[in-house]
């Protein structure tokens, strides 16, 4: 990175032992650390400073384990596409909630609007419910440059995490925003329709106009590690949040409870059934990870 000194470091012995015990990463991209510089030009990490934010998910595998994708970021850019891979509103909302649960502002970037069935009108239609949830959205094309100026403006001066499913074009966008990154890209598999993993580890890049972007390997879904608050889930669905206070029970989950104003509105056709199903799926996922009742 231009104007930035790169120092190869290792963990102090006691920190390395903590990593062995926890079976996880003690230091992730974005962490602030205290380092002792050695005579040979390398360094030893003495302490990992407290994080002001972190985007974390439940790691794959049978044993529950936290996987922190990035720490101390201002913005989490959820990169998606209309197709190759297909746009899934529920999955997008999972990524958005994952960012908010970690104290990070989400940004949804709909890439590949250059594809023949992915024109701008369709992009705006797909993004409409996301915008209604109060989430900033940008439609882009890494291929022809559409929307890149708007995206660069959102990222300027920020520490940003790029994350999302494989094959949506995270690395391609980064190459357009920061040509010196030379991030690897590959085509989506035409056999499965899923993206190939082209980024093997999280990497920090400096943007020419100021700010940093952390590029991460693609994931197929976002499993909550820190469960979002009930209010955070409902906040993505303003039409549901507006009716919540009219339910019979104050802690109504708007799922199967009697006297639920949300379900009554659904039966009358006043709430979109697909949007309601997205809400229930996200709410149940949050409950499985333990809502923090106030």
Packing angle of the helix pair 170-177, 148-155 (nearest 10 deg): 80
Average pLDDT (4-12) is 86
DSSP per position, 13-61: HHHHHHHHHHTS-SS-TT--EEEEEPTTS-EEEEEEPPPS-EEEEEPSS
- 212 pLDDT above the threshold of 70: yes
pLDDT score of 88: 85
Residue 112, number of CB atoms within 10 A of its CB: 27
- Which range is least confidently modeled, 2-6, 14-18, 83-87, 182-186? 182-186
pLDDT of 1 over the 80 cut: no
**Whole-number Å distance between alpha carbons of 58 and 75:** 20
What pLDDT, on a 0 to 100 scale, did the predictor assign at position 190?
36
Q: Which pair of tokens denotes residue 38?
A: 């050695």
Distances (CA, A) of 237 to 50, 150, 233: 33, 26, 7
Average pLDDT for 91-116: 88
pLDDT score recorded for residue 218: 78
Give the CA angle between residues 203, 99, 174 to the nearest 5°: 35
| Backbone φ, ψ for residue 123 (5° rounding) | -65, -45
Q: Is the peptide bond before 85 cis (omega within 30 degrees of 0)?
A: yes
Q: Note every long-range contact of 184-189, with CB atoms under 8 Å and residues 24 or more positions apart, other chains counting.
A: 188/84, 188/85
Question: For residue 4, what pLDDT is reported?
Answer: 67
Of 34-43, 199-208, 234-243, 282-291, minimum mean pLDDT range: 282-291
Q: What number of H helices and E strands is found in the chain? A: 9, 11
- Provide the pLDDT for residue 40: 93
Please say if the pLDDT value at position 182 is more than 70. no
C-beta of residue 30 within 8 angstroms of C-beta of residue 214? yes
pLDDT level of residue 198 (50, 70, 90 thresholds): very low
């Amino acid at each position: 990175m231009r104007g930035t000194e790169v120092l190869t470091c290792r963990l102090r012995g006691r920190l390395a032992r903590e990593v062995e015990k926890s079976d996880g990463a003690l230091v992730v991209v974005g962490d602030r650390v205290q380092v002792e510089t050695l005579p040979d030009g390398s360094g030893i990490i003495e302490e990992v400073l407290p994080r002001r934010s972190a985007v974390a998910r439940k790691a794959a595998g049978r044993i529950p384990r936290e996987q922190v994708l990035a720490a101390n970021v201002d913005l989490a850019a959820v990169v998606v596409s209309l197709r190759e891979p297909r746009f899934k509103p529920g999955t997008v909302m999972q990524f958005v909630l994952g960012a908010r649960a970690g104290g990070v502002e989400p940004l949804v970037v709909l890439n590949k609007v250059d594809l023949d069935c992915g024109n701008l009108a369709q992009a705006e239609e797909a993004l409409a419910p996301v915008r209604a949830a109060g989430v900033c959205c940008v439609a882009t094309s890494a291929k022809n440059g559409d929307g890149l100026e708007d995206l660069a403006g959102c990222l300027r001066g920020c520490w940003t995490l790029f994350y999302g499913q494989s094959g949506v074009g995270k690395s391609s966008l980064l190459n357009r925003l920061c040509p010196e990154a030379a991030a690897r890209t590959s085509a989506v598999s035409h056999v499965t329709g899923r993206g190939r993993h082209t980024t093997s580890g999280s990497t920090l890049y400096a943007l020419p106009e100021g700010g940093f972007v952390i590029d991460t390997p693609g994931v197929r879904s976002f499993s909550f590690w820190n469960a979002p608050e009930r209010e955070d889930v409902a906040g993505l669905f303003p039409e549901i949040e507006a009716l919540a206070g009219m339910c019979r029970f104050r802690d109504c989950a708007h799922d199967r409870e009697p006297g639920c104003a949300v379900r009554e509105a659904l039966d009358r056709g006043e709430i979109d059934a697909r949007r309601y199903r997205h809400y229930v799926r996200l709410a149940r996922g949050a409950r499985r990870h333990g809502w923090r009742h106030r």
